[in-house]
Amino acid sequence: MAMLEKSLAEADPDTTDLVVMTAKFTNGDTDGPASDELTDYEQQLMTAVVTRAELAGKVVRPLIVPTNNPLHAILCAASEIGAQEIVLGASNKYTAQDQVDLVSLYWLSLHGGEPRPVTIRIVSRNRDLAFDLGGGNRIPTIGERKAKSIAEMRAAGTGVRRVLFAHDGTPGASDLFQSVLTMLDPQVGLTVVSVSAEANESGKSGFLERVREQSARLGRAIEVVAAPVHRPVRHSPPRPISPRSLQSLVGSAATRAASLP
């Protein structure tokens, strides 16, 4: 239900129709039309969908499609109704990348290799992955449409909320940092990380101290961190085996081989 809750929270009822579809799995080998009767689970599912929509003050259109390939059926239905966005739940069977690849393949196939613009979202409790096909066709959320300030835009999930600046200690990086420091809104979090291996290893990062001093002088809160130092693992070269040791190893191996059944 995570994808339904997110869709209900973001959809603007004045501009967006929300169709909630589930696939009624059927055996492709069965002759005759699929049964129109809903199972107890399907009835409970559709009731829960409508109830949550009513609690959110939104209207949804439930849709049940019989199929032996749920993902393909969802994409077919989305194509037929001209959906701009398709919101899918995260799979328990496939990785997110596998889902992306499969959806892309089906959508390309449905449109003869020239996909109609659509935005696909794969949603779970802790992830919201979006990708565009055919250029994308993202629907602005209700928060975006009704935002009256930059802060409200960010709260709606639009725009930049945090910037990571990689500083290598060179004069060019220092000049760029000053530009970033002055152009960013104070409400945007700024983290400066030292990527100078020499400075990080020695523990003497004079340029980071200058970054802190300049930010404090301007009243700009930032976070300064040093990237961890990764030292290469050194392996000792193999020692040569003496002829006597080699002969002993070969003899031991031959004895073990002879004792096998």
Query: pLDDT confidence of 219, banded at 50, 70, 90?
Result: confident
Could you tell me which residue, 201 or 67, shows the higher pLDDT?
67
Determine contact, residues 221/215, Cβ cutoff 8 Å. yes
73-114: pLDDT as tens digits? 989 998 998 989 988 888 888 888 888 889 899 998 988 888
Q: Is the pLDDT of residue 29 over 70?
A: no
The band of 149, judged by pLDDT with boundaries at 50, 70 and 90, is confident
Residue 186 clears pLDDT 60, i.e. is over it = yes
Q: Does the pLDDT value for residue 64 go beyond 60?
A: yes
Chain centre distance of CA 142 = 22
Give the pLDDT band (50/70/90) at residue 224. Answer: confident
Q: What's the predicted TM-score (pTM) here? A: 0.56
Of residues 134 and 250, which shows the higher confidence score? 134
Two tokens, residue 153: 């835009």
The percentage of the chain sitting over the pLDDT mark of 90, rounded to a whole number, equals 1
Residue 79: which residues within 8 A CB-CB, separation 6 or more?
107, 110, 111, 116
Nearest-CA neighbor of 58 among 153, 147, 141?
Answer: 141
Between the CA of residue 70 and those of 21, 95, 101, 137, 197, what are the distances in Å? 10, 17, 16, 23, 51
Per mean pLDDT, which range of 22-36, 40-54, 61-75 is the poorest? 22-36
Q: 177 or 150, which is more confident?
A: 177
C-alpha angle 45-48-52 in degrees, rounded to nearest 5: 145
Do you know the residue count of the chain?
261
pLDDT over 80 (residue 252) = no
Number of Cβ within a 10 Å radius of residue 88: 17
Cα separation values, 71 from 22, 66, 90, 148, Å: 10, 12, 12, 38
150: tokens are: 């930059």
10 burial (CB, 10 Å; 0-12 / 13-18 / 19+) is buried
User: Six-digit token pair at 84?
Assistant: 């701009």
Q: Which residue has the tokens 């929270």?
A: 9
Mean pLDDT of the chain: 78
pLDDT at 32: 52
The domain made up of 2-144 has a fold known as Rossmann fold (3.40.50)
Query: Residue 170 carries which DSSP code?
Result: -
- Structure tokens, 41: 């689970």
Mean pLDDT of 47-63: 86
Rounded to whole angstroms, the Cα distance separating 113 from 128 reads 26
More confident residue, 243 or 86: 86
Q: Report percent pLDDT > 70 for the chain.
A: 74
The yes-or-no verdict on residue 71 having pLDDT over 70 is yes
